[in-house]
Structure formats: C-alpha cells, structure tokens
C-alpha cells in the first residue's frame, strides 16, 4: 500500500518509497549520533515521567489528608488538562533552558493523570478494611503499607501505563519545537526543514517503534513489581 501511494504521488519529496526509507534507516543505525539521540531523548522523557509519578503521588496523599488542598489544586489540574501541549512548550521556552523543556513537558502532561488516579484509588479504599485497621490498632505506617498501598495499586498501574505513552508523545513534540542537540525531535525537525523526506519517515518510524517498545517494557516491569505486592495490575 505504501509503495503504491509513493508510485501514485510520484514525488519522493512528498511520499518517500519504502526502499528509500529502509536505505536511509540502514545508514542511520551505523551512526553513533543516532543511538545517542535516542538514548538522550529517552532519558529526558523518563526523568520528566518519574518526577511526575513522585510529585503526583505525593500531591494525591496531601490533598486526601487535607481536603481543602484538593479544591485548591483541582482547578490547576483542570487548566493543565485543557491547555494545548504546544502552548505549554512555547511558554516553557520562555521560562527554562530549551534542553530541559522536553522533561518539563513530559512532567506536566503526566502529573494530572497520576494525581487523579491515585486520588481516586485512595478515596475508594475499602472502608471496612480501614475499620478493621482501627479495631486492631494499626499504626499510620502499617495502615498505609497494608491497606492503602494494595488498594491503590491498580489505579497507580493504570495511571503509569497511560502516563508513559503521554510522556513519550509530548516529550518528542517538545523536542521538535525546541530542537535540543542530540534528540529525536531535532532530527525530525532538520529532516523537515531540509526536505529530506526519507529521513523524516525513518525518524517517524523510530518514534513509533520506541513508543511501542518503551510501553511494552514498562508494562512488563510494572507487572513484575506489582506481583510482589500482591497485585497484578490491569490488562
């Protein structure tokens, strides 16, 4: 189908042929900068994601313990959800170094997901289990470890799986706009600027492939970790 479209259009600049893309990809994979770009992009996005998981979980606990904090924080989360990613990227370029923008955007996109899901998990904790903990005089730490954590695991798992996908897409979008050195986004941008369509297709393929690989590896890692806590996570 792809080859047929390429032949029908008849312009390599508009639709690169599969053979041209494969050839370019073969040239890219032997370059050191290709692998460095992927690694650095991945690290930037994972830093933003991990920070969002930590901060989002912490905020969920705080806003549950202090209900007024929930009503204070909810409008902020709503604004983040409603604002286009591109707007945040452009604003972030005014505030911070362009190298740090992808991590910041990944953080910003994942934070609402983590906070919302973990907050829901805490609120939906079985009240009978909490009553049992009170009867047996569980301490606060023991109650959190034995009741709240297992009850919130599935919510946390779902949030993380959703979040890693959002983080990857938003992080790459940020790289395309702010073009930090040695990044997937800057290579996409350069390919577009110089009308190197086969390279553009090849790097797009890298983005899609990495998205699938990262999500599958992350799912497997999360499931392994969650089984140790007695929860397998949702499919």
In a domain, 3, yes or no: no
User: CATH number for the domain including 179?
Assistant: 1.10.3720.10
Of residues 128 and 101, the one with the higher pLDDT is 101
Domain count, the chain: 1
Predicted pLDDT of residue 235: 43
Contacts of 60 (CB under 8 A, 6+ apart): 114, 115, 118, 119, 121, 122
Query: From CA 222, how far away is CA 216, in angstroms rounded?
Result: 10
Mean predicted confidence (pLDDT) in 156-182: 90
Q: Is the pLDDT of residue 232 over 50?
A: no
> 34 in a domain, yes or no?
yes
**Residue 69 placed within a domain:** yes
pLDDT at 48 over 90: yes
Q: What share of the chain is helix, strand, coil (3-state, %, to 5)?
A: 85, 0, 15
Burial status of residue 78 (CB atoms within 10 A of its CB: 0-12, 13-18, 19 or more): exposed
Answer yes or no: is 6 within a domain.
no
Range of the domain at 112: 26-227
Per-residue pLDDT of 176-220, as tens digits, reads: 998 888 899 899 998 888 778 888 889 999 999 999 998 888 888
């Amino acid at each position: 189908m792809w080859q047929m479209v390429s032949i029908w259009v008849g312009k390599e600049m508009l639709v690169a042929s599969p053979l041209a893309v494969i050839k370019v990809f073969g040239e890219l994979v032997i370059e050191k900068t290709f692998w460095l770009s992927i690694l650095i992009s991945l690290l930037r996005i994972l830093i933003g994601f991990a920070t969002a998981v930590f901060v989002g979980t912490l905020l969920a606990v705080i806003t549950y313990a202090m209900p007024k904090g929930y009503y204070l924080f909810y409008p902020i989360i709503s604004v983040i959800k409603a604002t286009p990613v591109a707007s945040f990227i452009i604003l972030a370029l005014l505030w911070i170094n362009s190298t740090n923008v992808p991590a910041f955007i990944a953080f910003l996109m994942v934070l609402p997901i983590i906070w919302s899901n973990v907050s829901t998990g805490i609120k939906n904790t079985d009240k009978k289990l909490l009553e049992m903990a009170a009867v047996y005089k569980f301490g606060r730490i023991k109650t959190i470890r034995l009741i709240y954590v297992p009850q919130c695991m599935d919510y946390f798992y779902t949030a993380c799986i959703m979040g890693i996908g959002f983080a990857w897409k938003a992080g790459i979008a940020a790289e395309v706009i702010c073009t930090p050195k040695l990044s997937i986004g800057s290579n996409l941008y350069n390919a577009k600027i110089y009308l190197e369509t086969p390279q553009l297709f090849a790097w797009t393929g890298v983005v899609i492939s990495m998205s699938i690989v990262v999500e599958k590896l992350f799912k497997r890692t999360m499931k392994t970790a969650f089984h140790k806590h007695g929860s397998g996570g949702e499919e």
